Amino acid sequence: MPTIGIDAIALAVPEGYVELAELAEARGVPPSKYVEGLGVSQMAVAQAHEDAVALAANAARRLFLQARIDPSNVGMVIAGSETAVDHSKPIAAYLHGILGLPSRCRSYETKHACFGGTAGLMTALDWIASGSARGRVALMMCTDVARYALKSAGEPTQGAGAVAMIVSENPRMLALEPGISGSYSRDVHDFWRPLYSKEAMVDGHYSVQCYLDALAGAYSAWSEASREAGYHRDSIVRRCYHVPYGKMAKKAHRHLMSIEGKTEEQADASYKEQVATSLKLPSQVGNIYTGSLYMALASLLEYEAADLEGKRIGLFSYGSGCTAEYFAGRVMPGAGLFVKQQKLAEPLAERRKYTIPEYEAIRGADYDVDRRPVEQLQVNGAVAFLGVENERRVYTA
C-alpha cells in the first residue's frame, strides 16, 4: 500500500481577536481564570463577512498557493462544520465554485460537532487507500465560528477559524495509518445547537467528563488495533488533542497517562514534552470546533517538525453528542523544511485586537446576518460573505 496522509495544511483566522485578560476584566472575573485556568490568551472573533464559507475559502486559497497544489487535481472536497450556512447547500458546494474545482469532483459536508473534520479526513484516507482516487487528491476542510451566549461560562471558550488540508499519496507532512484507529460513540447531551440558535448550548462540566470518557474508549480501541498491527504504543512521542481550550488538552493528557499507569507528576512532565507545543497556536485563537485538533497539529509541526521527522504522533478527535476517534501518524522525512516554507502561523500575525465594546458590537450584529442585503466591502483580496440577494448568499469572487 502506498503511503497516504496529510500532504499540506493551511490556516485562516478572522481579522481580529480579543485579549482574554481584557474580557475577564469586563466580566468581573480574575484574568488568571481565563488565561491560566482555561489556558487561552486570545480569542478570534469573526465579523459578519467572515462566515464558515469565507474562512474555509481563505484557508484553501492559501493552501493552494503555499503548497503549490493544482486545484484541477482535487477529486473530492469535504467540508466538516457545525456552523453551516444552509440546511441543504453544503459549504463544499460554495467552495467548489469559489476555488474553481473540477466538475469531476465529489463534494459534500460532514457534521458531528467538532468531529466533522475527522469524519471527512477518514473518508478521504479510505477513498485513496481503496484506489478510487486514481492519483487525485482530497481537499479536506474544517471550518467553524464558535459562539456561546455573551456572559455565559462558555464565552471565553469561543473562537473562529478554518483549517484546509490536502490528503494524498506520498504526503509531505504526515503519513497516516489507514485501518488503525479507535472509535467511541455514545448518545449524550453535553453540547448541542438547536436549529433556531446561532449560539451553542452546553452542559459545561458534563461535557468535560464526556470528552474524557470518550478519550478512554477511543484510546483503548486504538491500542488494540495498533497492537494487532504490530505497533508499540510507546512509539508515540507527541500527542495532539481536540482543544476546546488549552486546559482541556492538559486534562486529557493526564487522563490518558493515568490509563497508561503513570502518576500525576509523570503525566505533567510528559505534558510539557508531548503536548505543550501543540497548544501554542490554539491558545491565540480559541476553539475552532472541527479544526481544533488540526490547528494543534499545525502548531506542533510549526515548532517541531524538523526534530520529529520519522517519529510517530497520536491524535485525538472529539465531537460532542458524542463520537471520538484516536489515531496516529508519522512525520514525513523532509517535513521540517517543507513546513518552514508553508509559514503556517503567518495568518495569526496579521490580526488586529478588538476592544470588548467592539467585540460586543460584532456579536450584536450577528443575529440578522443571514438576511443582510448585499453590501460592498473592502477586504483586501480575502473571500468575504457580502450578504443575501434573491435568497442566495453572495461571496466576493
Indicate the residue type of 98.
I
Cβ-based neighbour number of residue 235 at 10 Å: 13
Tell me which residue of 229, 238, 247 sits closest to 277, measured CA to CA. 238
Q: What angle do CA 322, 318, 82 make, to 5 degrees?
A: 75
Least distance from C-beta 14 to ligand CAA, angstroms? 18
Active site residue 189: no
CB 320 to ligand CAA: min, Å? 4
Catalytic: 242?
A: yes
Closest CA to 151 of 260, 35, 26, 328: 26
Cα(376)–Cα(359) distance, integer angstroms? 22
- Per CB under 6 A, the list member of 184, 219, 241, 289 interacting with ligand CAA is 289
> Which member of 80, 120, 154, 282 binds ligand CAA (CB under 6 A)?
154
Task: State the minimum distance, in angstroms, from the CB of residue 235 to ligand CAA.
Answer: 27
Kind plus residue range of the DSSP H or E element containing 345: none
Spatial strand order in the sheet of 4-12: 106-110, 74-80, 137-146, 159-169, 4-12, 174-185, 323-331, 312-319, 236-241
Is residue 318 near ligand CAA by the rule CB under 6 A? yes
CB closer to ligand CAA, 8 vs 249: 249
246-265: b (≥16 Cβ within 10 Å) or e = bbbbbbbbbbbbeeeebeee
d(CA 238, CA 222): 16
- Chain CA centroid to CA 314, Å: 16
Q: Which residues contact 179 (CB under 8 A, 6 or more apart)?
A: 129, 225, 229
Binding part of the chain for ligand CAA, among 28-36, 92-100, 329-337, 377-385 by CB under 6 A, reads: 28-36
Q: Which is nearer to ligand CAA, 205 or 227 (CB)?
A: 205
Convert residues 40-79 into a mask of x (bound to ligand CAA by CB under 6 A) and - (unbound).
----------------------------------------
82, 177, 304, 325: the catalytic one is 82
Question: Which of these segments, 35-43, 90-98, 127-135, 171-179, binds ligand CAA (CB under 6 A)?
Answer: 35-43
Residues in contact with ligand CAA, shown as a per-residue x/- string from 230 to 249 under the rule CB under 6 A = ------------x-xx-xx-
Least separation in angstroms between residue 105's CB and ligand CAA is 29
Using CB atoms, what's the residue nearest to ligand CAA? Answer: 37
* Among residues 153, 229, 361, 365, the one that binds ligand CAA under rule CB under 6 A: 153
Task: Considering the complex, state which of residue 64 and residue 294 has its C-beta at the smaller distance from ligand CAA.
Answer: 294
Tell which residue, 32, 30, 47, has the closest CA to residue 361: 47
Question: How many whole angstroms separate alpha carbon 354 and alpha carbon 43?
Answer: 10
Count of residues in the chain: 397
Q: Which stretch binds ligand CAA (CB under 6 A): 51-59, 85-93, 152-160, 296-304?
A: 152-160
Instruction: Pick one of 202, 215, 297, 301: the residue that binds ligand CAA (CB under 6 A).
Output: 202
Instruction: Indicate which residues carry an active-site annotation.
Output: 82, 114, 242
* Positions that interact with ligand CAA (CB under 6 A): 30, 32-33, 36-38, 114, 153-154, 157, 190-191, 202, 204-205, 207-208, 211, 242, 244-245, 247-248, 287, 289, 318, 320
